[in-house]
Amino acid sequence: MKNLLSLGFAYRNTWIGVCSAIMTSICLLLTFSGCATQKGKIVSPNSADRIGSHRAGSEIYDPAAQAAVTGLLEQAASLPVVLSDSGKTVAQISEDYGVRKICFVGVENAGGEEMGDLRDDLSETIRTMISQSDQFDVIDSRLVSAGLRETGLRVDDLFLPDKRSAFVSALGELDSPFDYLLFAKVTTATTQDNVDSQVKYNLTLDLVNIHTGSSIRETVGLKKHYNRSVKAKIKDMF
C-alpha cells in the first residue's frame, strides 16, 4: 500500500513538473512574440532624431541642409544678379529685384548608401528652408518636373548653356521665370577600422546664376561612427 502511495505521489509530481514546463514554454513564446511585434509611438516634432544603426537618416541630413542652405544664401545675397549690379550693396540689389527665384532640381545621391525616401525628404527640407528666406524663393517642384518633361532634358543636361537656355525658356512660358538653378549632391567617404567604420556624409549645393553663368558652392560634411566592437562602443560613450 505504501509503495502504491509513493508511486502516486511520484506520478503527480512528474505531471506537475511537465505542466509547469509547458506553461513556462508558452509564457516564453508569448513574451518573444510580443517583442517581435512592431509598435508605434507619437513623439514631439522637437524631439531628438533617432540615430540609425546602419545608415544615415534625418539626424545627418537635416543639420547638413540647414548649414548648407544658410551658407549658400548668404553668399548669393552679397553677389550681383546681373553684371551691371557689380558694386551694389546687398540692400540695393534686394531693392532692385525683390525676392529672387531659385529653381531647385532635386538631390543627386552619389554616395555609397541607398537613401530611399530620405532623398525626397531632403529635397523638401531644402525647399522649405529657401522659402523661409526674405530674399529668395523657390519654384514649385511640379513646375520643375513639367519643364523637364516639356524640353525632354535630364537634370545633368542643365549644366550645358544651350540646354539650360531651353529649360529657362520653358519655365518662362509656364509663367515661372527664375534667376538661379540649384543642384544638390550627397557623397560619402568611408574609413574602415577592422569591424568598425566611420562615414563622412557631404551635402554639396551648387547655385548657378542663369544671367551671368557664374556659380557658387557650399559643402557641409558630417561624420558618423558605426561600431561593432565593444572597445569602439565604449569609446564613443565618452
In the chain the domains, ranked by start, together with CATH numbers, are 58-139+178-230 (3.40.50)
pLDDT at position 7: 46
pLDDT at 36 over 70: no
Nearest-CA neighbor of 73 among 176, 178, 207, 229? 207
Task: Give the span between the Cα atoms of 78 and 108, in whole angstroms.
Answer: 27
pLDDT at 220 over 80: yes
Alpha helical stretches, state H, 78-215: 90-97, 118-131, 141-151, 161-173
Specify the pTM: 0.75
Cell of 48: 531628438
Which residues does 104 contact at the CB level (< 8 Å), separation at least 6? 123, 126, 127, 130, 138, 139, 141, 144, 182, 184
159 vs 91, which has greater pLDDT?
159
Q: For the segment 8-27, what is each residue's pLDDT rounded down to a tens digit?
A: 445 555 555 555 666 766 65
pLDDT at position 224: 80
pLDDT at 45 over 70: no
Q: Across 11-25, 26-40, 57-71, 188-202, which has the greatest mean pLDDT?
A: 57-71
**pLDDT-derived band at 237, boundaries 50, 70, 90:** low
Say how many CA atoms lie within 13 Å of 187 toward its Cβ: 8
pLDDT at position 175: 87
pLDDT at 4 over 50: no
